[in-house]
Amino acid sequence: LGVDVHLVAIADPQRHMADDAHRRYGFARSEENWKAIAANPDIDLVSVAVPDAFHREIVEGMAAAGKHVLCEKPLAAAVEDAEAMVDAVERAGVIGAVSHEWRRIPAVSNIRWHINNGALGDLLHFHGRFFADYGLIAENRLSWRFSGPPGSGVVSDVGSHLIDLAEYLCGPLARIHGALLTGVDAAAAKNEDMAFFSCSFRSGTIGSFALSRMAKGQPIGLGFDVYGTAGAASFDLSRPAEFYLLSAAAPLGASGTRILVGLSDPSVHGGAPSGGGAGLGHGLSDYFVIQARAFLEQVVGRSGLTPCVSFREELRTVQAMDAVVRSAGGGGKSIGFADVAGPARAGDD
């Protein structure tokens, strides 16, 4: 990077959590209040990794103090909060980036490369699933993730990632259709445990999404298939270093070719310190490391990795989540959402 990076301070209102992170990760100090971070002139950039409901206040405070912000997903649950946060970083002239580390999976970027280079022809259909099992654990259901309004359950928690991935691969969404949100035990969770919906992308491609936090045997069951007029691609997170590609040359009835990718994949551009050749394998921590490096590169003005998802791009994900809730509330009716003005999504090239 050409600059020294120092972990200056970590804040958490639970003192023992702040102290624990301070010790484990080597921050120079720990604080109880995020305002001490905002007021510290030695800090140039921050990561906001607190429960969703606190994102807006902290992001606005950090932006006003001139800090670049990497905020956890989803930026906000409500469109108006996300709009205010876009406004806050743009007014302050700081970088507002959102943590969608699943985009950093080399196989995902590699599939995107094949899509953009025409290997799949015109895209017809995206099908994505993000299944998890944490809702089956009774004590988890006491957390803030289970207590908000419709849309703040599985749609927000893992659906935001899948919507982001779908747009990364297939371009901007235009409409959400036929949403169904459903919970398993209303006494123990106020919001949805499962969600199903379809969509139209602006290009005319259609999509279908399945989300659950009640999927036994699926701790993190992320996967998707993309079908085009000429080819298809398929990815499953349980085998993160590979994907299947069926190209135009394959005869009808053929199955895909298994392609191994590693952290040395050109889409990663050496973003992971360990490198790693095709098939060596990698995991979630690598995706966060690559994302952190991309954010640092943005802050110091270096080009290299694909930039992080911007606040303005994330606004479209928040709008899509809102459209899912409104579709479900209307018995599955089709809901369009406004395009968000501004630069193309990160990595459009």
Ligand X SMILES: NC(=O)c1ccc[n+]([C@@H]2O[C@H](COP(=O)([O-])OP(=O)(O)OC[C@H]3O[C@@H](n4cnc5c(N)ncnc54)[C@H](O)[C@@H]3O)[C@@H](O)[C@H]2O)c1
Q: Which part of the chain contacts ligand X (CB under 6 A), choosing from 5-13, 259-267, 298-306, 324-332?
A: 5-13
Under rule CB under 6 A, residue 72 binds ligand X: yes
CB of 13 to ligand X, least distance (A): 5
Q: How far is the CB of 271 from ligand X (least distance, A)?
A: 17
State the Cα–Cα distance between residues 192 and 212, nearest whole angstrom: 9
311: amino acid identity, one letter: F
CB of 73 to ligand X, least distance (A): 5
Task: Return the residue of 2, 4, 14, 93 that touches ligand X, per CB under 6 A.
Answer: 14
Contact 207, 123 (CB under 8 A): no
12 binding ligand X? (CB under 6 A): yes
Report the site for ligand X in 32-71 (rule: CB under 6 A): 34, 49-52, 54
Euclidean distance between CA atoms 237 and 85, whole angstroms: 31
Nearer to ligand X, 104 or 177 (CB): 104
Q: By C-alpha distance, which of 318, 268, 329 is closest to 293? A: 268
133 binds ligand X (CB under 6 A): no
Which residues, including other chains, have CB under 8 Å from residue 335's CB and lie 6 or more apart? 175, 176, 177, 323, 326, 327
Q: In 10 A of CB 247, how many CB atoms?
A: 17
Closer residue to ligand X in complex, CB, 134/227? 134
Residue 341 main-chain phi, psi, to 5 deg: -65, 155
Nearer residue to ligand X within complex by CB, 123 or 289:
289
Does 13 interact with ligand X (rule: CB under 6 A)? yes
Query: Which residue number, 34 or 126, has a Cβ lying nearer to ligand X?
Result: 34
Q: Is 164 in the site for ligand X (CB under 6 A)?
A: no
Distance of alpha carbon 35 from alpha carbon 296, whole angstroms: 22
99 binds ligand X (CB under 6 A): yes
How near is the Cβ of 82 to ligand X at its closest, in Å? 13
Under the binding rule (CB under 6 A), the answer on residue 101 touching ligand X is yes
- Please identify, using beta-carbon distances, which residue of 59 and 115 lies nearer to ligand X: 59
Nearer of residues 72 and 236 to ligand X, judged by Cβ? 72
Residue carrying structure tokens 């988890």:
140
Shortest CA distance to 214 belongs to which of 321, 130, 152, 284?
130
Total residues in contact with ligand X, by rule CB under 6 A: 15
- Say how many C-beta atoms besides its own lie within 10 A of residue 217's C-beta: 8
- Stretch binding ligand X (CB under 6 A), from 12-20, 111-119, 129-137, 227-235: 12-20
* Amino acid code (one letter) for 69: V
Judged by DSSP in three states, 1 sits in: coil
Determine if 283 is a binding residue for ligand X (CB under 6 A).
Answer: no
Output 131 or 227, the one with its CB closest to ligand X: 131
Residue nearest to ligand X (CB): 72
Nearer to ligand X, 63 or 245 (CB): 63
At closest approach, how far in Å is the CB of 11 from ligand X?
5
DSSP E strands, the chain: 9-11, 29-31, 45-48, 68-72, 96-99, 123-132, 173-182, 194-201, 206-212, 220-228, 232-236, 242-246, 257-260, 309-310, 335-336
Q: Specify whether the CB–CB gap between 316 and 336 falls below 8 A.
A: no
The contact set with ligand X (CB under 6 A) reads 11-14, 17, 34, 49-52, 54, 72-73, 99, 101
